[in-house]
A = this chain, B = another copy of it.
Amino acid sequence: MHMSTNTLTVELGERSYPIYIGEAIHHQAEFYRRHITGRQVMVVTNETIAPLYLDETLSALSGYDVATIILPDGEQYKTLETLNKVFTGLLEHRFTRKATLVALGGGVIGDITGFAAASYQRGIPFIQVPTTLLSQVDSSVGGKTGVNHALGKNMIGAFYQPLAVLADTATLNTLDERQLAAGIAEVIKYGLIVDSAFFSWLEQNMDRLLSREPAALAHAIEVSCRCKADVVAADERESSQRALLNFGHTFGHAIETGMGYGAWLHGEAVAAGMSMAANLSHRMGWITEDDLQRCCSLIERAGLPIQPPAEISPDRFLQLMAVDKKVLDGRLRLVLLKGIGQSVVTDDFDHQSLLETLESYQ
């Protein structure tokens, strides 16, 4: 069987790195060997992923001096304490600053491992093998690594780039439907904020994505990563351009917080949040009724919610959004649409229209 691999290069000067996208690539030795320079490799994964993919990864790494750390699965373990377990493992194996970390898992594993790589002996290389659609399209680009603090999510971390990313579409076969849809929410986001042609492609190929057709998944991952890389490129750090990536997230975070973390998946909350942002954009007269319909219809076809939960009142919404970090100097900024594939970060929207949007779901 011939399997093709797409390679997308994230351009960051001397820190540029490739994202390899393809079917069954995470157990092919060559993708690791190209990048690993030392002998020592530590695979960091979790209890859910290890039984599924660890053996294949280890066989691809045969010949290296390999150790493994299996962390508990879940956002609640994305802490300094868990991070310290990675350091302990590295030190117990006497791993030097020439060791390479391999992050095998979803966003939490990628964030912890990336930060461990950034901090161990002040920085060692790492390779990301994201195993969820969300982490393949989101964590592969941008260099954000870190852990949560009891008083805030993602409050501790570093900007740190991997040597390479291996996005293997085969690992998506074990994702449950809700997790797959949550990843598709972020994919739709890229179409909406910067790429109308990709949005049209998604309208025509949603069924192929939902049936996990490898070529369709690979295309969606590649375009999403390229969109994100383009947005991030101008400014590797937080900037107003980068804020476009938060489309749907201010409403979405309000849903996640309002319902208690974990009740809604992040991607589900973002999906409803994107519909709400499109609704407000339409009320402002910035997008047509037809665009609004296309937006909601595509989100719905992915099996995602297009409405917030009725139990969050408009007042509570406003309260929750006001503490979101996108509020600068007391003015609520939102990412809104000026068309499909066109977005802006703005505080220049009508407060009455925002209220009407919120009330329309009651």
Contacts and interface: CB of A to CB of B under 8 A. Distances in A.
Interface in A106-146: 118-123, 144, 146
B120 A155 contact: yes
B155 A123 contact: no
A238 B152 CA distance: 34
Nearest to A143: B122
Nearest to A151: B91
Contact of A80 (B80, B96, B150, B158): B80
Interface residues of A, number: 28
A241 B118 CA distance: 23
A119 B156 contact: yes
Contacts of A150: 88
Contacts of A92: 151
Contacts of A149: 84, 87-88, 91
A238 B121 CA distance: 11
Nearest to A149: B87
A215 B92 CA distance: 48
A80 B116 CA distance: 13
Nearest to A328: B96
A159 interface: yes
Interface in A34-58: none
A121 B115 CA distance: 12
A149 B151 CA distance: 24
A122 B159 contact: yes
Nearest to A88: B151
A66 to B, nearest CB: 20
Contacts of A159: 122-123
A157 interface: yes
A351 B217 CA distance: 62
Contacts of A325: 96
Interface of A: 80, 83-84, 87-88, 91-92, 96-97, 118-123, 144, 146, 149-152, 155-159, 238, 325
8 contacts: A87-B149, A88-B149, A88-B151, A96-B325, A97-B238, A119-B146, A119-B158, A122-B157
